[in-house]
A and B are shown apart, each in its own frame.
Chain A
Amino acid sequence: SQTIHQWPATLVQPVGSPLSLECTVEGTSNPNLYWYRQAAGRGLQLLFYSVGIGQISSEVPQNLSASRPQDRQFILSSKKLLLSDSGFYLCAWRDTGASGNTIYFGEGSWLTVV
């Protein structure tokens, strides 16, 4: 069966520090991968998606970037965090096979920028 993991689960970072959140998917190949953010009191916002290695699309302009160095690995980064980057970040994947129109989420990472 397929599983998705992301880490770290919780982190507190000072303003101006770098960020790296990592996500891996097991049990599938060539998935579509996504990063969402859930800010306090707001819904979920799609930040990035990837349909293959090295292919990244950004949905909103921001202080963050994403990379996909391997088929089942998706990384969210920042060189200098802002206070407004605080939130709950969720990695997700979608099976690109015939039955794949459902998106599955990781456990989430809580980021507090102080």
Chain B
Amino acid sequence: GDSVTQMEGPVTLSEEAFLTINCTYTATGYPSLFWYVQYPGEGLQLLLKATKADDKGSNKGFEATYRKETTSFHLEKGSVQVSDSAVYFCALSDGGGADGLTFGKGTHLIIQP
């Protein structure tokens, strides 16, 4: 079945540091890929997405590129802020029966001033 693997946290960085959160996936066919962000005590918000190979999703300074050859969708940001502290989830949708999402376990990001 489908699966998503992302780096375990917590990841602690200083403000203005460069961020990479790795995400790799296993799926049949050509899934759509997503990054969701969960701020403390809140639901999940869509951060960005990519629906086909070589697509780049971007939002709020975050970027991720759909790499079919390496089955990866790594999240990057050039200069993080304290307000970026949250849990980040990588997910895929393969358009199967439920057409729901398969999630990674989440990466807790802590940005220190």
Q: Do A and B bind each other?
A: yes
Given contacts A43-B89, A43-B104, A44-B103, contact A101 B95 (CB under 8 A): yes
Asked if B89 and A44 make an inter-chain contact with CB atoms under 8 angstroms apart, the answer reads yes
**Contact size range, B:** 20 to 34
Within 8 A of B (CB), among A21-44: 32, 34, 42-44
**B69 touches A (CB below 8 Å):** no
Say what secondary structure dominates the interface of chain A.
strand
Bound Cα distance from A25 to B62, whole angstroms: 28
A7 within 8 A of partner (CB):
no
Q: B44 and A49: CB pair below 8 A?
A: no
Q: How many A-B residue pairs have CB under 8 A?
A: 55
* B45:A43 contact, CB within 8 angstroms: no
Q: Which residues of A contact B93 (CB under 8 A)?
A: 101, 103
CB-CB < 8 A to B36: which residues of A? 105
- Indicate if the CB atoms of A49 and B98 lie closer than 8 Å: yes
Smallest CB separation, B87 vs chain A (Å):
10
On whether the beta carbons of A43 and B46 are closer than 8 Å, the reply is no
Q: B97: which A residues are within 8 A, CB to CB?
A: 57
B89 A49 Cβ-Cβ under 8 A: no
CB contacts (< 8 Å) of B100 on chain A: these are 32, 34, 46, 49, 59, 92, 94, 103
**Beta-carbon contact of B43 and A105 below 8 Å:** yes
Within 8 A of A (CB), among B39-53: 42-46, 49, 51
Asked if residues A90 and B44 are in contact (CB atoms below 8 Å), the reply is yes
| Given A34-B100, A49-B100, A102-B49: A107 and B43 interface contact (C-beta under 8 Å) | yes
Q: Do B105 and A103 touch (CB < 8 A)? A: no
The answer to whether A103 and B89 have CB atoms under 8 Å apart is no
A106 within 8 A of B: yes
B interface residues with partner A (beta carbon < 8 Å): 32, 34, 36, 42-46, 49, 51, 89, 93, 95, 97-101, 103-106
Chain A residues at the B interface, C-beta cutoff of 8 Å = 32, 34, 42-44, 46, 49, 57, 59, 90, 92, 94, 101-108
